Chain A
């Protein structure tokens, strides 16, 4: 079974530039999560999708971050414009959903904003 795929693995941009991350969850997983993990901290949930609907985006900085999950499969997370404090690893995870809560994480995208 293929795992959660993310791209790119690394990205370096200057502040005020835009960046997009892509995630392909495990086939059949209804729930998809985007997390931000700053060095030395635990992952922080940004947004959770159930199929193509948003379940929770309370911690997503909506003035600069956006995410979509078209057709309930792949997802993209965008930052526009980026700030220095956005430097972090962006993790995508998926789970079957329903009463199955175990999450499978991708390798993450390491973003450096200079």
Chain B
């Protein structure tokens, strides 16, 4: 069956460090992959999209990689700040089949 796994439920890091979040999938061939941020009591907010033929995408302090051989995406936040604390969700889509991972809760400590 199709499965999406995000590396851990929670990740705690120190301010200024790089946060690395993992999204692994099995039995799925996504055409593209998205990362969203979700704060408590709010809907997810779109951050980045990467297509199956792209290896890397960057936006300000954010970087996403996509390895279709390993079936894995890595999401990096460099120079992390306490304001980056939130739950980060990966989402995969292929042929209108949209699936989200359970998310990783990131806490950046000052």
On A, residues with C-beta under 8 Å from B are 4, 33, 35, 40-45, 48, 55-56, 58, 91, 93, 101-108
Question: A107 contacts B42, CB within 8 Å?
Answer: yes
Q: Which of B37-56 contact A (CB under 8 A)?
A: 41-46, 49
**Cβ contact within 8 Å between B102 and A41:** yes
* Smallest beta-carbon distance B57→chain A, Å: 13
Is B96 positioned at the interface, with any CB of A under 8 Å from its CB? yes
Q: Tell me whether A40 and B34 are in contact (CB under 8 A).
A: no
Q: Is B99 an interface residue (CB 8 A)?
A: yes
B44: contacting residue among A41, A101, A105, CB under 8 A: A105
Q: Are A40 and B102 in contact, with the CB atoms below 8 A? A: yes
Chain B residues touching A, range: 20 to 34
Q: Given the known A-B contacts A43-B44, A55-B96, A107-B43, are A102 and B49 also in contact in the complex, defined by CB atoms under 8 Å?
A: yes
| Alpha-carbon distance between A104 and B42 when the two chains are bound, in angstroms | 12
Q: How far is the CA of A100 from the CA of B100 in the complex (A)?
A: 18
Closest CB in chain A relative to B23 CB, distance in Å: 11
| CB of A109 to closest CB in B, whole Å | 11
Question: In the complex, what distance in Å separates the CA atom of A43 from the CA atom of B92?
Answer: 12
Nearest CB of B to A17, in Å: 24
9 CB contacts below 8 A, A to B, read A4-B43, A42-B101, A42-B103, A45-B99, A56-B98, A102-B46, A103-B44, A103-B46, A105-B44
Give the docked Cα–Cα distance between A105 and B46 (Å).
9
Q: What 8 pairs between A and B have smallest CB-CB spacing?
A: A105-B43, A42-B100, A56-B96, A102-B46, A43-B100, A45-B98, A42-B102, A105-B44
